Amino acid sequence: MKKKNLLVKPFVKWAGGKRQLLEDIEYFLPKGIKNYYEPFVGGGAVFLSMQFKNTTINDFNSELTNAYMVVKNNVEELIEVLRMHQNNNSSDYYYSVRAWDRNYEIDKKTDIERAARFIYLNKTGFNGLFRVNSQGQINVPYGSYKNPAIVNEDILRADSRYLNENNIKILNGDYAEALKGVQRGDFVYLDPPYAPVSEDKNSFVGYTLNGFGFEEQQRLLSIFDELTKKGVYAMMSNSSVPAIHDLYKKYAKTTAIVGATRNINSKSSGRNKVDEVIVMNYNYKNNEIIKD
């Protein structure tokens, strides 16, 4: 296996990111992966850690996928704009940049400027959240960090090299559309917005404007079943809650429970170690996809 570049890692913070679970995920990977799909890529902790040569990533968040494209195609120009944001960073400046999607300035900006805005707001906003209001406008407050790492040139350049030196396809749309090209023997990692662990209205359970409710979780299960029937290796991460265990009960023998600490609530009580599930449609020991 090709040696990994340890500088290749996420260039944004992401709620629900998988950095804590990388060892668990890698342990359960199927063997002999040739084509990798990640249709809920988010911050890309898994994809950027595994560094497969043939990869398709997707996200419904167009600002995020634009940032990936700019890191790939215009990394030096991106770094220059991020340096400007770093030099000007303050609470007032943050809110003036955040307001671009309120005063229609964002429609006049280049892809590079939009990507730099996205990364800047991510690095300086509260808890690294991406959250929008009912109008689709970012509404995360300023984070008041003393010295936020707004521009990490080494990581950005390493990510850009990886994206350019390998066969990486970047898509923006519905996760099911991103999986239309999968074939027998390919591997799909699914990291959807998690099922809520409580009914607390402050719980952060979705990243898109419309959220990801129980009906979407059911739809995801049907796609997971379709992948199984096609002979595609599939792995999914989610909350370890009764609703998810019930949905995926046919995969109970190939489900693992792992622990992670999550910072997705403004209350300190919401920053606890929680159980998560890794559901697989294959036996990781013998590499065989399970049969109905």
Q: Which residues are annotated as a binding site for S-adenosyl-L-methionine?
A: 14, 18, 59, 191
**Cα 204 to Cα 271: distance, rounded to the nearest angstrom:** 11
Nearest-angstrom CA–CA distance, 40 and 175: 7
Ramachandran region, residue 161 (left: φ > 0; alpha: ψ -120 to 50; beta: rest): alpha
Three-state DSSP at 176 gives helix
Residue positions in the annotated binding site? Answer: 14, 18, 59, 191
Taking residue 63's Cβ as centre, other Cβ atoms within 10 Å add up to 20
Given its phi and psi angles, is residue 275 left (phi above 0), alpha (psi -120 to 50 degrees) or beta? beta
At 146, the amino acid letter reads K
Record the tokens describing residue 264, joined without a space: 């997705």
264 class by beta-carbon count within 10 Å (0-12 exposed, 13-18 middle, 19+ buried): middle
Q: Which of helix, strand or coil describes residue 30?
A: coil
